Amino acid sequence: MKSIKTMVLTVAVTSCIAAIMLSGCGGEKTDKTTQGNITKNKYINIGQIVSSTGVSGEISKNVAFGVKAAVDEINSDDGVSVDGAKYKFRLMTADDKENKDLAGNAYNNLKDKKIKALISPVSEESLKAIEETVNKDNVPMIIPNISSDDTGKYDNEYRITMSDSQMGKKAAKYAYEELGMRRAVTFTEDKYAKVTEAFINEFQTLGGTVVTNNTYSDAAGITSEALEDLVVAHPDIIFIPDDAANAGDHLDILNSAGTGSCVMGINSWYNINAEQGKYTGLGSIYYICENKEDVLFEADYNTQNVVSDRLQAEYGYDAVYIIKAAIEEAGAIDEDLIIAAMSMIDVDGYTGENITYKEGCNNSKEVSFRTLQYVAGENNNE
């Protein structure tokens, strides 16, 4: 069950709400009559763009699982409270087939159904294809999983995962301030170049030294030259943002250098299964984490053998509760007021505590750091 904390709207927003009659709002459908002050079976339409095919197909399936779990839970529980009335969510989906040219059609299909909020496609290219149109329509859009700083530039967009720059900055602060690291070596792959760039800038601003920044490709991997440079540099920490699917190979290579350096990875690394003490040539291995507890969502919603990545399902789940919190804070089913209310909400989700939107698209939630392996001693500056 989600714990949601809300804050009081400003006088300006409150006065706007007073001017809006719920009976005139689109996106609602009444199937039954009202009883007293509680409206039975009135619906708020929310949309989700899914991808049934392509590389994003599996990610979309995972996110959609979380979205449906949240909608079903809210509808079977107390619903959505709006100015004394109770509503249910009606989830509507449209398929872009991971094709940016079809993403616009998918969005228009949902818009025609008078959706009051949208959960974005999981493909970055599809998201970019619809961002401007969704903004012009002033529909609040939740971005579950896309971290690219090239997205989320409009004031109607709200990201759940960390942005690339947020991820790099948080990793650098933790390495410098909490672990006491002072010398770093970084590795950059094109997909995560912004993450590494943010790490370098923050680490140096704090007073640390980035000895070398190595570039590599997933195809070629870490080169022997970069490994030789690593041995010479002998850093306190190695920062290497990459997907969990590639991280195991990287760790094996870095381990062979035998520098005893600590390693810092990113949020997908929770999927890596590493035996304690496997990497004897490395120090402790850390990764930034958005999951409050590794198995919490899986235990609550029986995701085993249903979703391949539960963090993606958690993004979808939290997206629905963020929409719910904003509508309830607004006290009206109106896009302008929902957007205004987004800066007032504070949601405790599966993907982090205190999810707030004080500064545009990127949230200010609390994240944690965990270890794949822990080695006590001077490598952790103890």
C-alpha 206 chain-centroid distance: 26
Question: What pLDDT does 335 receive?
Answer: 97
184 within 8 A of 175, measured Cβ to Cβ: yes
Pairing state of beta strands 141-143 and 118-119?
A: parallel
Question: What pLDDT does 299 receive?
Answer: 72
For 362, which DSSP code? B
C-alpha 273 chain-centroid distance: 22
The CATH class of the 164-289+367-380 domain is alpha beta
Distance set, CA 328 to CA 124, 210, 325, 342 (Å): 29, 47, 5, 10
Asked if 3-161+293-350 and 164-289+367-380 have one fold, the answer is yes
Distance separating alpha carbons of residues 116 and 45, to the nearest angstrom? 6
Pairing state of beta strands 262-265 and 285-289?
A: parallel
3-state SS record for 270-316: HHCCCCCCCCCCCCCEEEEECCCCCCHHHHHHCCCCCCCCHHHHHHH
Domain limits, the chain: 3-161+293-350, 164-289+367-380
CATH superfamily of 3-161+293-350: Response regulator (3.40.50.2300)
131 within 8 A of 164, measured Cβ to Cβ: no
Distance separating alpha carbons of residues 151 and 219, to the nearest angstrom? 26
* Both tokens assigned to 33: 């009559």
Contacts for 32 with CB less than 8 Å, ≥ 6 apart: 40, 41
Question: What pLDDT does 304 receive?
Answer: 67
Vertex 131 angle, CA 109 and 152, to 5°: 135
Contacts for 373 with CB less than 8 Å, ≥ 6 apart: 274, 276, 277, 278, 279, 282, 284, 285
63 within 8 A of 311, measured Cβ to Cβ: no
User: Given phi > 0 = left and psi -120 to 50 = alpha, else beta, which region is 146?
Assistant: beta
Q: Following DSSP, what letter does each residue of 122-150 receive, concatenated?
A: SSHHHHHHHHHHHHHHT--EEE-S---TT
> E strands within 120-250?
141-143, 157-159, 183-188, 209-215, 237-239
244 within 8 A of 272, measured Cβ to Cβ: yes
**pLDDT tens, N- to C-terminus, the chain (382 residues):** 444 444 333 334 344 434 433 334 445 555 544 444 445 569 999 999 999 999 899 999 999 999 999 999 999 998 999 999 999 999 999 999 999 999 999 999 999 999 999 999 999 999 999 999 999 999 999 999 999 999 999 999 999 999 999 999 999 999 999 999 999 999 988 889 999 999 999 999 999 999 999 988 766 778 888 899 999 999 999 999 998 888 888 999 999 999 999 999 998 887 787 776 789 999 999 999 887 665 577 777 877 667 778 889 999 999 999 999 999 999 999 999 999 999 999 999 999 889 999 988 999 888 889 888 888 754 444 4
C-alpha 271 chain-centroid distance: 16
* Both tokens assigned to 57: 């197909």
299 within 8 A of 291, measured Cβ to Cβ: no
> Does pTM surpass 0.95?
no
